[in-house]
Amino acid sequence: MHPVGFWTRLMAHNIDLIVMLPVYYLMSFFIDSNQILIWLCLVVTYLYEVIAIASSWSGTLGKKMMKIKVTNDDLTPVSPWKSALRAFVKAFSVLTLFIGYLTIVLHPQKKSLHDLVMKTSVIFSPTD
């Protein structure tokens, strides 16, 4: 198991953002209220994360392109329920000005706060 560092994870996130921007843009044509649009974008992003991590890819398109995946600490796939809880804890890391990501730099296995709480790991996926 080779843990993934901050910069690779950030690149995967940026790829996901590029993928999701057209979706957000399309939604803006149908929703006039900025508040509703923001909440809908958050929900769509949350669902994308949950479904992608619980899928056979074990990660989002960005993670797949960076050849990384999310697993349980014992290297088993993450269940849909655990993926949903992990994404919820990840949202907390984002809402606290990304403080939950500081642990990636400090932790020996390069784990974020949501990885530590949910007992998951982001690792390189050499077979993909």
Overall number of domains in the chain: 1
Confidence of residue 115 (pLDDT cuts 50, 70, 90): very high
In a domain, 20, yes or no: yes
Which domain range does residue 58 map to?
Answer: 6-124
In a domain, 1, yes or no: no
- Maximum Cα–Cα distance across the chain: 47
In a domain, 114, yes or no: yes
In a domain, 32, yes or no: yes
Is 67 in contact with 124 (CB distance < 8 Å)? yes
Could you tell me what percent of the chain has a pLDDT over 70?
A: 98
CA angle 22, 82, 103 (to 5 degrees): 80
pLDDT over 60 at 128, yes or no: no
In a domain, 67, yes or no: yes
Is 122 in contact with 58 (CB distance < 8 Å)? no
What integer pLDDT is reported at residue 127 of this predicted model?
66
CA angle 98, 115, 35 (to 5 degrees): 45
| pTM, rounded to two decimals | 0.90
The model's pLDDT over 15-56, given as tens digits with 9 standing for 90+, comes to: 999 999 999 999 999 999 999 999 999 999 999 999 999 999
Is 53 in contact with 59 (CB distance < 8 Å)? yes
